[in-house]
Amino acid sequence: MIDVAVRRLRPDAHIPDQAYDGDAGLDLSACDHVVLGPGERAVVPTGLAVEIPDGYAGFVQPRSGLAARHGIGIVNSPGLIDSGYRGEIQIVLLNTGGEAFSVEPGMRVAQLVVVPVAAVRLVEVDELASSDRGIRGFGSSSS
């Protein structure tokens, strides 16, 4: 288990928590009232900043219940929080449903998942090793 420092930027911000023991995601809540019409997107503040430790990253994921019931997703899903970022976590919600959706302060609108990330050094080469897949790309394995 790792410690992740969290700071309230607003007194009404909710500290993220897990809905159930063992859940991977910590629920992130909205701080502002926002109405999303069909096809609209909006940046929803959480009123929180976090200090992700070096060697880790935070990924902001959609909540499946909002997606299934209302068509609410996250435009840049997953949103990436780098270990050096100290600004407010904001969520870019998108209403793909057919009706307006009201985000209320305190409503759980996304999840934060903190995962280890490998340190990477790119090495330029003239050729890449072969693989079974080769250069076949998007949709190459569909029937």
Q: Which two tokens stand for residue 142?
A: 């569909």
Q: Which amino acid is at 32?
A: D
67-103 pLDDT per residue, tens:
999 999 999 989 999 999 999 999 999 999 999 999 9
- For the chain, the structural domain boundaries read 5-116
pLDDT value of residue 133: 87
Please check whether residue 108 is in contact with residue 63, taking contact to mean a CB–CB distance below 8 angstroms: yes
**pTM for the model:** 0.87
CATH architecture of 5-116: Distorted Sandwich (2.70)
- Those residues with Cβ within 8 angstroms of residue 106's Cβ, 6 or more apart along the chain or in another chain: 12, 14, 29, 30
Q: Per residue of the chain (143 residues), what is the pLDDT tens digit?
A: 899 999 999 999 999 999 899 999 999 999 999 999 999 999 999 999 999 999 999 999 999 999 999 999 999 989 999 999 999 999 999 999 999 999 999 999 999 999 999 999 999 999 999 998 888 887 777 65
